[in-house]
Amino acid sequence: MAGAGDDDNIPAASGSPDASLTQDDSFTATSHAGLTYPWGDGAPATGEAIRIAPGISWARIPMPGSLGHINSWLLDDADDRGEGVAIVDTGICLTVCSDEWKALYAGALSGTRITRVIGTHLHPDHIGLAGWIAKKQGVKLWMTRGEMLTARAIVADVSETVPDEALAQSRAAGWDDAAIEQQKSEGWGRFALMVFPLPRSYARMQDGDLLDMGAHRWRVVTGSGHSPEHACLWNEREGVLVSGDQVLPRISSNVSVNITEPDADPLGEWLASIDKLLATVPADVITCPAHGEPFKGLHVRLMALRDEHRMRLYNLAEAATKAPMRAVDSFPLLFNRPIGSHNQGLATGEALAHLKRLEVEGRVKREDRDGVWWYHGVA
């Protein structure tokens, strides 16, 4: 196994005001009632991995910011060179994360060959160190095409000037002049600061693919809404699902409209992905999420996520029939925490996603008043 050298060029700080700006955490209320946690609220210590089931172990990578960690899943793998371990999700490109990998190489992964790196999706806490590990270990990065190409486009967008499209979307959502000026002052292109250079070549995963890992096979089950083509991994024989951010036990993943696809309906895609997982993956699997602890009760959780989003849509539609609203006016109906300058961007994207879903369903109509969007309920 290749070792991690001293020439990694991993920064100690992200250059971002909050390195947790990875779009994993929603601002919406959510319930995890009905779930069970076989390993309680414990977690692997530094350099440690916990065996979850045949073929999979759990490591935890610390991160700064509100989420505090990402789970990395270590899958038993085998190829023509022999046995080893595939790494699923890596942490941000920061020394606090790379130091944990070095501890794992000296601890739980000592003497173990790394066979491949798998990114469930494009957010920096998932692929921030994917290029670093792939380079150091001499292995390929595996991702879906939608995630890899989108990641490349965002990493390349390093302009320091906030794009006109972003400013126009913020104004359309109802931001005042002071908020717009602050947005301009914060600059752009912070995504690239949290991602080690990605390899030029990658191995593509597609929905339904079977990843042959010797004694184990993992089926790729894709979803969207949180990201373009998120890959979950399902080991049917062992009853394990690596869910990434597609299913989290205690928080709802952020589902946002962004300037790349301003007319998209990500919440519609998210709800369709929930239905797909309900129809595809059995209820009794052990679900291994990117954040939080492994749990049982997949279908209970999926239905709770679906129903809670549906309730928020109902509340928004009802409010819009009483008085027109902008995206910023919907915050108290959607979120269970204060929205200020530090989180207004992500909250706006999520509010726009809910309002777009209501538009698609014909429950509100959008009116453009001098560049500001007002939503009217449809009786």
Domain-embedded: residue 35? no
- Rounded Cα–Cα distance for residues 173 and 98 (Å): 38
Domain-embedded: residue 31? no
Which domain range does residue 115 map to?
Answer: 50-377
Domain-embedded: residue 92? yes
List the CATH number of the domain containing 174.
3.60.15.10
Domain-embedded: residue 236? yes
Domain-embedded: residue 10? no
- Rounded Cα–Cα distance for residues 128 and 16 (Å): 14
Q: Are 81 and 137 in contact (CB under 8 A)?
A: no
- Rounded Cα–Cα distance for residues 186 and 311 (Å): 34
> What is the tally of structural domains in the chain?
1
pLDDT, averaged per 10 consecutive residues of the chain (379 residues), comes to: 52 55 47 85 96 98 91 95 96 96 98 98 97 97 98 88 95 97 89 93 98 96 98 98 96 93 97 98 98 97 96 97 97 90 92 98 98 95
- Rounded Cα–Cα distance for residues 59 and 51 (Å): 9
- Rounded Cα–Cα distance for residues 189 and 241 (Å): 33
Q: Are 206 and 144 in contact (CB under 8 A)?
A: yes
pLDDT value of position 336: 83
pTM of the model: 0.93
Domain-embedded: residue 150? yes
Please state the length of the chain: 379
Domain-embedded: residue 156? yes
- Rounded Cα–Cα distance for residues 144 and 193 (Å): 22
What is the sign, positive or negative, of the torsion defined by CA atoms of 162, 164, 165, 166?
A: positive
Domain-embedded: residue 14? no
pLDDT value of position 26: 52
Count of other CB atoms within 10 angstroms of residue 39:
14
